Structure 1
Amino acid sequence: MLTGMHVAVIGGDARQLEVIRKLTELDVKLSLIGFDQLDHGFTGASKVKIDEVDFSDVDAIVLPVHGTNMEGEINTIFSNEKVVLTEPLLRQTPNHCTVYSGISNDYLDGLITITGRKHVQLFERDDVAIYNSIPTVEGTIMMVIQHTDFTIHGSRVAVLGLGRVGMSVARTFASLGARVKVGARRSEHIARITEMGLEPFHLNDLENNVKDIDVCINTIPHMIVTASVISKMPAHTLIVDLASKPGGTDFRYAEKRGIKALLAPGLPGIVAPKTAGQIVANVLSQLLSDDLKKRKENKK
């Protein structure tokens, strides 16, 4: 239980509802900012405006997955209130206050540095990324089915990158009967691809390995599917880019060539917001519990 802990949940999408539900069960005192249009009520949670919160009493701030934009504004789909995370606001919080988000940007990084508050990027954690790979794979399958006129079974699929998402994608498409090849750079990844019974290739040889594919699934967050690579693909190839914005594909050239290329970051929040929210909620509640224990021990 997290009785006595005060958490401010600021903005977010349907995933945040699972976070709120979990923290309510753990008896957290919750201030919900940017949720005034939400019909659902949570016992023990107060819907408030940002200027109504006493941040000197807040132990943790939970931001949406994307944190803030480059002006500090926080996305609030359940409210029309403009909510901005500022330096003066963050300085009001106790020194032990921790800010949680999925990812970060230069604005949020700068704010954290200036104020000296702790910042936890949940999506940088292996456990969250691996759990999130499950709805990501399901969403990828959905997109491939929707945007092709052939079955996954028997199709030729190239997966770029063998990270936490790439491994799950490659394994699942292979289990559905696709002929999967996986591109990587690191020798241990090449070895792992071989051990998985899939066809490995080095990304330096990417152009030669896309000449006969039906689907290209990219997980690498920098420009890898270049115009030169796309020019070698068959005209019917579908590109699904799972990397964070702006992705790793030359979408301009893909459109010019007539190849369908889809940027699909954040699939868990789109195809399975309840599950994606529960993943964040479970990890977040454990981190808050650990933080509370440390503070209690320090007081002894």
Structure 2
Amino acid sequence: MKFLIIGNDKRYDYLARELVSSGHSLIDTAGEAEVVVLPMLACADGVHITGTDLVLEEFLQQVPKGAVVFGGIDREGIINYVKAPSLRVFNAIPTAEGAIALAMENSPRTIWQSNCLVVGSGHIGKYLAGKLRDMGANVTLSMRRDEDAAYAGMCGFQPVKTGEIARVMGEQDIIFNTVPARVLGEEELSQIRSDAVLIEIASTPHGFDIDKAKEMGVQVVVGSSLPGTMSPMTAGKIIAQVLTSLLAER
């Protein structure tokens, strides 16, 4: 098949290589495309394709009728591959590993024997918590649902309800936020010790006000698009697998 790939980081270069190795061809003209792949955040400003000057709506008019368009956006005529369950699961792997790398670069402590709080018990939160536990950390996992609290206890994590994070925040050496919603307010941020590190790996609007946290003296590390920046080859292969599977289902 003829693929047109419009990506905004290195993972799309590896996606292209993977597709070519599987027998597909790459083109750079929308009018000839059979499959179009847009970024995982396809239209960040609501007008242009992310990382380009191309107006999304004008670009789509150039794509042949019947072509398959993948992109990280909810819009008629575009398959939002970011919501594919398999992508969410597999993407947790490079995201968690990237978050741990940031912690090791920015914390004066080893992961081993550190008190680590993982905010959020989705795919990324659970996988990250498990990796930290395996490295010898004392892991607290926050969640909203009782069933996730049971999961945390079963896996050897200390469970805490998201609304009660403030009471354990002062004990933590490294805090990882995985929730793309404001779950950490001034009360929670004020409890973070000056020698602790707060690592933000969620997408916008993020789990807290980053500027406010820095004003309060919190050591904040922001990890944006970790799969694309720290593990682009693996991330590209994951996207290739997901797109191939989605095409086969059509």
Q: Structure 1 length as normaliser, TM-score?
A: 0.77
Q: Which residue is equivalent to 1:24?
A: 20
* Identity rate, percent: 28
For residues 190-223 of structure 1, give each alpha carbon's deviation from its aligned partner in whole angstroms, at most 9, with x where no partner exists: 1110110111111121111212111111111101
Q: Find 1:245's aligned residue among 190, 201, 204.
A: 204
Displaced runs of 4 or more, over 6 A? none
Which entry has the higher C-alpha Rg, 1 or 2?
1
Give the conservation status (yes or no) of the 8 Å contact 1:74–1:84.
no
Is the aligned partner of 1:84 residue 2:55? yes
Gaps of 5+ in 2: none
Structure 2 residue 58 is the aligned partner of structure 1 residue 100: no
Instruction: Show CA shifts across 1:140-172 (max 9, x none).
Output: 111111111111111111111110000011111
| Counterpart code for 2:49 | E
Q: Give 1:290's aligned amino acid.
A: E
Of 193-202 and 64-73, deviating more is: 64-73
The 3-state SS of whatever aligns with 2:206 is coil
- Selected match of 1:221 from 180, 196, 206: 180
C-alpha separation between the residues in 1 aligned to 2:141 and 2:202?
Answer: 16
Q: Compared with structure 1, are the counterparts of its residues 261 and 74 closer, same or farther at alpha carbon in structure 2 (3 Å cutoff)?
A: closer
In structure 1, the residue matched to 2:132 is 173
**Residue 143 and residue 92 in structure 1: after superposition, are their counterparts in 2 closer, same or farther (change >3 A)?**
closer
Q: Which moved more, 1:158-167 or 1:62-71?
A: 62-71
Which runs of no fewer than 5 residues in structure 1 stay unpaired? 33-52, 77-81, 292-300
Report whether the alignment pairs 1:10 with 2:6.
Answer: yes
Quote the offset at 1:277 in angstroms.
0.6
| Greater RCO structure (CA 8 Å; 6+ sep) | 2
Aligned-pair Cα RMSD in Å: 1.9
Inter-partner Cα distance in structure 2 for 1:54 and 1:185: 44
Give the superposition deviation at 1:290.
3.4
How far is the alpha carbon of 1:92 from its aligned partner?
4.3
TM-score, length of structure 2 as denominator length:
0.91
Name which of 55, 58, 68 aligns with 2:33. Answer: 58
Q: Is residue 179–residue 207 contact of structure 2 (8 Å, CA) maintained in 1?
A: yes
